[in-house]
Copies of this chain bind each other. A is one copy, B any other.
Amino acid sequence: MVKKINATHERLPAADEAATIDNVAQMAGVSPATVSRVINNRPVVSETTRRRVLEAIAHLNYQPSALGRNLAIRRTGTLGLIIADITNPFYAEIVRGIEETAFTHGLNILLYDTLEDAEREAQILSLLEERQTDGLIICASCLPEQRLLPLMQVGIPTVLINHLPLSASIGTVETDQEAGIRAAMQHLVDLGHRRIAYIGGITTAQVYQRRLATFRATCAEAGISIPENYIVPAKPTLDGGREAARHLLPTGSKVEPPERASYPTAILAYNDLVAIGAIIEAQEAGLTVPEQLSIVGYDNIPLAALLHPSLTTVQQPARILGEQAIHLIATYLQLQKLPEGRPTFMRFTPTLIVRASTAPVVLSSS
């Protein structure tokens, strides 16, 4: 019907293959450049041309290829997200905040779950170096600083969640780890506890180190000396918590009166999952929580309020951490430079939420 418009060897695409910008251009009788202008809503195109192009697009059921586009503009609209454990409700909530905010910015999220494993995290990082994401969010890294830096130096704009600022990053959003631990410890000390254990956490992770350091510092300030075996690192999961607690608590029913016992009267857990694991283990060992053992968690996951006993814990604004991380990175992507000339450090203050898993220590017994 319609004769070839140009003397090109262009042909229309077979029914099963996708139309390209050239097909559209040919059909509309314009150049690919013009089609590109229409697709991207450049204002310069005349109304009639625009209409012709749009018709051709509709006719061919044309979808611009992100692949071609990405290569041409050398951006992908995609962010890498490295998260420690998606099944931990605290992280899931952060991801929710990230996802939702990224969507409004037109950014896509490539998800990587490290399973709280440092080696795996390292693998993922090196994989990401070639994936050309526009940016990277690392949430609760288990890696030491010197393994994080190379990636940023390769030029991927990175935001860290719950980490201290790194010179090569574009910023950090965190809750004040020190304040969180201090609040929890103050609470336990006020309740009269002096035999306090710290359980759970990956030793290579900066969060862990900071929390532990603060734990030690607070103990020292309160004149409490902590035996080394009261510090039990473990995977920050329910099972990790159980395992750690098992090392500390009396087995079977040989529960001693608190003043003579060797086990702690209180446990500060790395996070809520660990705390819950410890509660379960304690109960199975025949200890009542909080009467014989107080337990404090960290994060305030939704589950914390629903348990029996409900969990005393340190609340972090999970969703907001995620949202702000995206805002940071989106701002950077727009400006192509650090807004303040140096990495942003955004810090929130956590809140201690006192519930039913902590109680005054009872030293004299009935």
Q: Report A's interface with B, CB cutoff 8 A.
A: 16, 18, 61, 63-68, 70-71, 74, 76, 78, 81, 86-87, 89, 92-93, 95-96, 99-100, 103, 108-113, 115, 129-132, 154-155, 238, 276, 280, 302-303, 306-308
Contacts and interface: CB of A to CB of B under 8 A. Distances in A.
Nearest to A99: B113
30 contacts: A16-B155, A18-B155, A65-B132, A66-B130, A66-B131, A67-B67, A67-B71, A67-B74, A67-B76, A68-B71, A78-B110, A81-B111, A86-B92, A86-B99, A87-B96, A92-B92, A95-B111, A95-B113, A96-B113, A99-B111, A99-B113, A103-B112, A109-B111, A109-B112, A110-B110, A110-B111, A111-B111, A276-B306, A280-B306, A306-B307
Contact of A110 (B93, B108, B154): B108
B154 A63 contact: yes
Contact of A115 (B74, B76, B100): B100
Contacts of A110: 78, 108-111
B130 A65 contact: yes
A200 to B, nearest CB: 17
Contacts of A74: 67
A99 B84 CA distance: 12
Contact of A63 (B64, B78, B130): B130
A86 B94 CA distance: 10
B96 A86 contact: yes
Nearest to A73: B67
Nearest to A64: B130
A93 B287 CA distance: 31
Contact of A67 (B16, B111, B132): B132
